[in-house]
Chain A
Amino acid sequence: MNRRLLLLAPFGVALVAGGGFLAMLRREQAGTFDPRGVPSMLIDRPVPPFSLPGLASSDLRGRPVLVNFFASWCVPCVEEAPVLMDLRRAGVPLYGIAYKDKPEATDAFLSRHGDPYARLARDLPGRVAIDWGLTGVPETYLIDRDGIVRWRWVGPLTPEAVTAELQPLLRRYA
């Protein structure tokens, strides 16, 4: 009896592990799980104090805004540009922070792909971005009227992410 149980144990372990991996894969395909994702430390915390040419942390109060880190050298930012333009047309206040980007290059990028930003800041050394815990561009943050970070999206914003995640949050914090 015991011996048979011991023989079955490896199969049991394999079954449980296989089930776990399958669940991870499913969630990864559904986009609800990213094994490489770095969780943001800013969620439900105030924006780190900063002052950049074009934008300071004190400007992020009074109404909910989206802050989008981008760069002209960033390919996913091109992919994201139409989604941001749609947000602008929908009247969502969007502030841009150009990450490690030459001003001329940023300006050329915006005239080519459209300028969705109500305000534009430049973080040439990329130092403010580190205070935000930025891992790459593009990244988008939702700041509520009290200057508290409520949401972060890593990588290009997709229309699906906007309808499924951003719009409900914008309604909640409006």
Chain B
Amino acid sequence: MRGVLALVLWLLLAGPAFAISDPAEALPDPAQEARAVAIGQQLRCLVCQNESIEDSGADLARDLRRIVRQQVAAGRSNREVIAWLVARYGNFVRLRPPFETGTLLLWGSPVLALAAGGGAVLLARRNRPAPPPPLSAAERDRLRQLLDRT
């Protein structure tokens, strides 16, 4: 029993070992490395597709990470590095799609949702029944009678 418990504890400790980042890949300059990571996190791994190349363990992702780092070390801007990859893999490689005609609906969807919600609220307001007219003198007398009886 104690052995099992110890094993479980050890396995819990092993969590960080899942991080695939190989320190040998990193650039020596921490500022450049941070930039390379920031660029890599915006780029889709073409093999696993829902991971960025920074998170992916695929061979191709590792090659792309290396290229990003070479270009960062060569002094290229973030925009230039991403453009280099988009020229080869298209906008599909960007995890954050650019704003253009093809993505108008995608980027416009929050505005559309807000408009639809606002429209629904306005419609509900307009359809709300009018408040009842104030009581007439006869009704007020009747009400007083009813209240006095108690």
Could you list which residues of chain A lie within 8 angstroms of chain B, going by C-beta atoms? Answer: 2-3, 6, 36, 38-41, 100, 125-127, 130-136
Q: How many B residues, CB 8 Å from partner?
A: 17
Contact B127 A3 (CB under 8 A): yes
- The answer to whether B63 touches A130 (Cβ under 8 A) is yes
On whether A2 and B123 interact (CB within 8 A), knowing A136-B47, A136-B60, the answer reads yes
Contacts of A131 in B (CB 8 A): 88
Question: Given the complex, which residues of B lie within 8 Å of A36, measured CB to CB?
Answer: 49
**A56–B92 alpha-carbon span in the complex (Å):** 28
Chain B residues numbered 77-115 whose CB sits less than 8 Å from any CB in chain A: 87-90, 92-93
Q: Is B64 an interface residue (CB 8 A)?
A: yes
Given contacts A100-B59, A130-B63, A136-B47, contact A41 B123 (CB under 8 A): no
Residues of A within 8 A of B123 (CB): 2, 6
A40 vs B46: C-alpha distance when bound (angstroms): 12
Cβ-defined contact, A135 with B47, below 8 A: yes
Chain B 115-141 residues near chain A, CB threshold 8 A: 120, 123, 127
A126–B61 CA distance with the chains assembled, in angstroms: 12
Chain B residue, CB-CB nearest to A100: B59
Q: Which of A36, A100, A130 has most chain B Cβ within 10 Å? A: A130
- Give the complex CA separation of A54 and B89 in angstroms: 25
* Alpha-carbon distance between A130 and B45 when the two chains are bound, in angstroms: 12
Q: Any chain A CB within 8 A of the CB of B27?
A: no
Give the residue name and chain of the B residue nearest to A41 (CB): B90
Q: Which residue of B lies closest to A42 (CB)?
A: B88
Q: A38 near B63 (CB under 8 angstroms)?
A: no
B67 at the interface (CB under 8 A from A): yes
Q: Is the CB of A38 within 8 A of B67?
A: no
Residue of B nearest to A126 (CB): B63
A–B Cβ pairs within 8 angstroms, 11 of them = A2-B127, A38-B92, A39-B90, A126-B60, A130-B60, A131-B88, A132-B88, A133-B89, A133-B90, A135-B46, A135-B89
User: A130-B64, A136-B47 are contacts. A41–B87 as well, Cβ < 8 Å?
Assistant: yes
Residues on B with C-beta less than 8 A from A39 are 90, 92
